[in-house]
Structure 1
Amino acid sequence: MAGVKNEFTSRLSPKSQPRKRKKIKEGKWEIYTLWISMEFSAIVVEKVPSLLLRPAAKVRWPALFDGVDSVLEDWIVDQMHIVRPVVETGYENLLLVRLLVESRLPSIRKSSVAEGLTVEDILENWSKIKPVIMEEWDENGDALIDLFGKVRDEWMDNDLATWIGANRFYPGVPDALKFSSSTIYIVTTKQSRFADALLRELAGVTIPPERIYGLGTGPKVKVLKQLQLRPEHQGMKLHFVEDRLATLKNVIKEPELDGWNLYLGIIRVFELLV
């Protein structure tokens, strides 16, 4: 993808530098696999959190916002901008919203980790915090995924134009997708239909459904292995753009994926919808 800076190697410690990549035969086309998080957030699309997160959170926890005034709500939105990088799957945004509310409102606090919690704590320890609050709140990831999807579906069904209009692509991305001479794949943890809707309606880009790997298609490492084994991809250059360093490190651990060129795409996320 033109304009995407390779910041991957420079951000790893010397001991964790990637292995020297095997040389692969030049092909006529290059294959770019793009990971587009939270419906393209962090790489392709900017989002707005309060439009979806609050309605979804109120459905799940009706009394959650009873003590939240406009000042606190603005604070939550600001903190969500900061903690966004820890999110792998959309429903985690709901957990973060509730956790932030509990950190400021002792009267509704049910989590043992909320008291005195800072955004730095979340950024550094989310992988440990998440299972604790899931258990303490008796939450189920699949149920939250379904809820998130249901709220989005209802919004899209009732007012698709407004939902699409609440999103925006980063400058230059639509043209890069439209005019790329490479074969583009979308590998995302989000549901494929939302990625497809944004591509078609907002960017004017049509990517065949078989080239959109959404929620339920398996880990990204697995998808990369599947893509590189396709006969039509043999001898071509393979590129993977990702905004999570941990995911790229997982790719590095797999000797089978030595042929992939890896890119850490870092773009500031201003506001999140999903």
Structure 2
Amino acid sequence: MADLYALDFDGVLCDSCGESSLSAVKAAKVRWPNLFDDVDSTVVDWIVDQMHIVRPVVETGYENLLLVRLLLEMRLPSIRKSSVSEGLTVERILDNWLKLKPIIMEEWGEQREELIDLFGKVRDEWMEKDLASWIGANRFYPGVADALKFSSSSIYIVTTKQSRFADVLLRELAGVTMPTERIYGLGTGPKVKVLKQLQSRPEHQGLRLHFVEDRLATLKNVIREPELDGWNLYLGNWGYNTPKEREEAAGVPRISILELADFSEKLK
């Protein structure tokens, strides 16, 4: 029996945290210029370091902007404009992001779509000015590019990243050319909806279905949909998740914890 793999992008195929953190800092400076008046490179470096720790909470890219500003308020109390940043720690962000996010968005008067547009625009401008450095701020996980190139399975990308960025990285960094109709990016609907579409296609009938994610919350959403009971679910332990999440996932019968070497081998 042949296999179909639906793959998340960031945290499964590509370690994009360096690029997304730097892009978020650039975008935050555009969105809230006054807050960055007295911010030096030392503070920016600290924020980027902390972003690597809190990255597991990010579902959609625009959230990186919110995290940058929240971290800035934690570091510089004089600019604090949210009720939640006093005494806040990265551990509390990891544990409570779903509660914190709507609070700070309301207090800062921010709209999701506006932040999405700004984040995409800043990335586009960086790529236009210096594509090599934008690409260089990303890296594919070891073995993944070759596994994609030589896979005999049907491969689809299912990501909350904007499709054009995933496409450029696949081509320019991994050397993989994938038809654009196989990349389901931001705006194509929730991942559970995309999985339903993929399994319903006539050409996919009879295939073994596999979905690889690094976010436990996303896999839980799939489990809640009885219609998706036919999917084999995997949590990539090399991606943007925490030991606490991996421990929880290990106790869920539907979810297999996947090692990077085993993932590359499966794709081949």
Question: What's the TM-score, normalizing by structure 2?
Answer: 0.86
Deviations 1:216-264 (A, max 9, x none): 0000000001100001111110000011111111111111111000000
Aligned residues: 238
Q: Relative to structure 2, which stretch is displaced further, 177-186 or 166-175?
A: 166-175
Q: For residues 137 and 216 of structure 2, what CA distance do their matches in structure 1 show?
A: 28
Question: What's the TM-score, normalizing by structure 1?
Answer: 0.84
What's the % identity of the aligned pairs? 77
Determine helix, strand or coil for the equivalent of 1:240. strand
Q: For residues 48 and 130 of structure 2, what CA distance do their matches in structure 1 show?
A: 23
Q: 1:163 to 1:71 in 2, by over 3 A?
A: closer
- Identify, as 1 or 2, the structure richer in helix: 2
Query: Gaps (5+ residues) in structure 1?
Result: 1-26, 270-274
1:247 aligns with 2:187: no
1:157 aligns with 2:164: no
Q: CA deviation at 1:160?
A: 1.9
Q: CA deviation at 1:158?
A: 2.0
Deviations 1:140-198 (A, max 9, x none): 11000000110111111222222222221111010000000001000000111110010
- The residue number in structure 2 matching 1:32 is 5
- The residue number in structure 2 matching 1:44 is 13
Q: CA deviation at 1:268?
A: 5.0
Determine helix, strand or coil for the equivalent of 1:185. strand
Q: CA deviation at 1:69?
A: 3.0
Query: Gaps (5+ residues) in structure 2?
Result: 241-268
1:78 aligns with 2:62: no
Q: CA deviation at 1:122?
A: 0.5
1:88 aligns with 2:59: yes
1:265 counterpart letter in structure 2: G
Q: 1:35 to 1:268 in 2, by over 3 A?
A: closer
- The structure 2 residue matched to 1:176, chosen from 117, 124, 147, is 147
1:258 aligns with 2:232: no
2:3 counterpart letter in structure 1: E
CA contact (8 A) 2:214 2:239 kept: no
Q: For residues 71 and 208 of structure 1, what CA distance do their matches in structure 2 show?
A: 42
Q: For residues 126 and 64 of structure 2, what CA distance do their matches in structure 1 show?
A: 18
Query: Which one scores higher on RCO, CA 8 angstroms, separation ≥ 6?
Result: 1
